[in-house]
Amino acid sequence: MKAAIFVEQDAPLVVEDVTLDPVGPGEVHVKWVASGVCHSDLSLVKGKLPLPPPAILGHEGAGIIVGIGDGVGGLAVGDHVIGVFQPTCGECFYCKGGQSYVCEKAIEIGMSRMPFTRPDGTKPFAGPGGLATFAEESIVAPTALVKIPSDFDMQQAALIGCGVTTGVGAALWAAKVQGGETVAIIGCGGVGIAAIQGCKVAGAKNIIAVDPQASKRKWAEQFGATHSVDPNETNLLEYIQGLTEGRGVDIAFEVVGVPALQRQAYDITRPGGKVTWVGVPDISAEVSIPAGLIVLQNKSIIGTMYGSANVKEHMITLMEFAKKGDLDLKGMITQEITVDDINDAFTAMLQGDVIRSVINYDA
Residue closer to ligand NAD (CB basis): 65 or 278: 278
The least distance separating ligand NAD from the CB of residue 209, rounded to whole angstroms, comes to: 9
- When CB distances are held under 5 to 8 angstroms depending on the partner's kind, the choice from ligand NAD, Zn ion, none that residue 128 binds is none
- The amino acid sitting at 99 is Q
Residue closer to ligand NAD (CB basis): 116 or 277: 277
- When CB distances are held under 5 to 8 angstroms depending on the partner's kind, the choice from ligand NAD, Zn ion, none that residue 270 binds is none
Residue closer to Zn ion (CB basis): 57 or 243: 57
Task: Fill in the per-residue mask, 149 to 168: x = in contact with Zn ion (CB under 5 A), - = not in contact.
Answer: -------------x------
Among 13, 28, 37, 38, binds Zn ion (CB under 5 A): 38
| Paired residues of 300 in beta bridges | 274
* Contact status: 103 vs Zn ion (CB under 5 A): yes
Residue closer to ligand NAD (CB basis): 125 or 277: 277
Residue closer to ligand NAD (CB basis): 35 or 304: 304
The least distance separating Zn ion from the CB of residue 197, rounded to whole angstroms, comes to: 16
List of residues contacting ligand NAD (CB under 6 A)? 38-40, 43, 162-163, 166, 186-192, 210-213, 216, 231, 255-257, 261, 278-280, 304-306, 349, 352
Residue closer to Zn ion (CB basis): 95 or 172: 95
* Contact status: 40 vs Zn ion (CB under 5 A): yes
- When CB distances are held under 5 to 8 angstroms depending on the partner's kind, the choice from Zn ion, ligand NAD, none that residue 92 binds is Zn ion
The least distance separating ligand NAD from the CB of residue 186, rounded to whole angstroms, comes to: 5
Residues 82 to 101: which contact Zn ion by CB under 5 A? 89, 92, 95
Residues 269 to 328: which contact Zn ion by CB under 5 A? none
What would the 3-class secondary structure string for the chain be? CEEEEECCCCCCCEEEECEECCCCCCCEEEEEEEEECCHHHHHHHCCCCCCCCCEECCCCEEEEEEEECCCCCCCCCCCEEEECCCCCCCCCHHHHCCCHHHCCCHHHHHHCCCCEECCCCCCCEECHHHCCCCECEEEECHHHEEEECCCCCHHHHHHHCCHHHHHHHHHHHHCCCCCCCEEEEECCCHHHHHHHHHHHHHCCCEEEEECCCHHHHHHHHHCCCCEEECCCCCCHHHHHHHHCCCCCEEEEEECCCCHHHHHHHHHCEEEEEEEEECCCCCCCCCCCCCHHHHHHCCCEEEECCHHHCCHHHHHHHHHHHHHHCCCCCHHHEEEEECHHHHHHHHHHHHHCCCCEEEEECCC
Which of 82, 86, 97, 76 lies closest to 32, judged by CA? 82
- When CB distances are held under 5 to 8 angstroms depending on the partner's kind, the choice from ligand NAD, Zn ion, none that residue 306 binds is ligand NAD
Residue closer to ligand NAD (CB basis): 116 or 134: 134
Binding site for Zn ion (CB under 5 A): 38, 40, 89, 92, 95, 103, 105, 162
